[in-house]
Amino acid sequence: MELRQLKYFLKAKELMNFTEAANAMHISQSTLSQQIKQLEMEIDTPLFNRIGKRIQLTEAGNVFAEFAKKSIRSSEESLLAMNDLKKLSRGSLMIGVSYGLRSILVPAVKNFIQNYPQINLEILFETTDILLKKLSDAELDLVLSYQEAHPAENFTYQNLFVSEMMFVTSTNSEFSKLKKINLKTIAELPLAMPFDGFSTTHYVMDLFKQNHISPNVKMKINDIPTLIEIVENGIFHTILADSTVNDRQNLVTIPITENKAERKAVLMQLKEAYQTEAMKSFSEIIMKI
C-alpha cells in the first residue's frame, strides 16, 4: 500500500469520476484505475462499484477513506517533524565526553542551549573505551575525547586543541616548585592513575614502556574528580592532560622532560552515520570554543 494510491483513491472519492480524478492528479486515467484496482486487491475489498462510466463508493470504501485520510495526514506530520528537526526546533543530541574535556563542554553546552532551547541534550561521561564502543553502536551522536594512538577507520575526527601531559602534584608537595621532572623520578613516586579503560592511562603506560621504566602505580580509580581530590590532598601524584586540571588552584602541573607528551583533543562521530542539523550545529559551536 502506497501513499500515492491512497491519494488517488481519495481524489476519485471526492470527484466520483476516474477521468476527472486522473486529470486532477496529472496522470492518465488508466494509471489511476490500475492503482486503485491494485489497492482493492491488496485489501481484498472493492472500494467502488463500477456502473458503466459511473462509480459509486462502497460501504468499505467509505470506511477506508477515513483510514486513508489519517495515513496521509500522519505522513505529512512526519515530514513537518523532520523539517522541524532540520530547523533545530525539536529533537535530541547524545554526546559522550572524556572527563578531561569538561572545560570546553560547559561553554559549548551553554551556547548551544541558548541558541537551540528545544533540543534535549544527553551527556555521558565515561572511559574512552566505553565511549568509542557506544559511538560504534550508534548509541551516541558525538564523542569528545583525546585521540587514540591508532585512530579508528570508522570514525571521523575534528581537531579541537592539543594539551600537554603533565606531572600533577599538590601545591604542598616537595616537588611543587620544580620547573621540569623526568619520567624516572616520576616512576619512583607513588602514583594514582585512572582505570585502564581511560585513554590517559593507555597513553601514560605506553610512555613509560617506551622509556623502559616501570611506574609505581599505587592506586587506580574510575572517577577522575576523586582522583584529582586525592592528589590535591597530597596522598599520591599523577600524570594527566593539562586541560584536565588547569582550573584547580590546589594543584601544580610540571612538564615532563623526556618527551613533549601531547594529547590531541578531538570531536568524533561515526563515519557512515547521518549527520543531523543538531550535530552540525554543536560541532560548529565547539570548534569555536
| pLDDT score recorded for residue 138 | 87
pLDDT grade for 169, boundaries at 50, 70 and 90: very high
d(C-alpha 63, C-alpha 184), whole Å: 83
| pLDDT score recorded for residue 177 | 96
CATH 1.10.10.10 fits 3-86, yes or no: yes
Domain assignments of the chain as residue spans, ordered by start:
3-86, 96-266
Choice among 68-77, 115-124, 277-286 with the minimum mean pLDDT: 68-77
Task: Enter the pTM of the model.
Answer: 0.70
Per-residue pLDDT of 197-237, as tens digits, reads: 888 999 999 999 999 999 999 999 999 999 999 999 999 99
Q: Cα dist. 233→3, 18, 247 in Å?
A: 67, 85, 16
Q: Which CATH class is domain 96-266?
A: alpha beta
| pLDDT score recorded for residue 27 | 95
| pLDDT score recorded for residue 259 | 64
As a whole number, the mean pLDDT across the chain is 91
120: phi > 0 → left, psi -120 to 50 → alpha, else beta; which?
A: beta
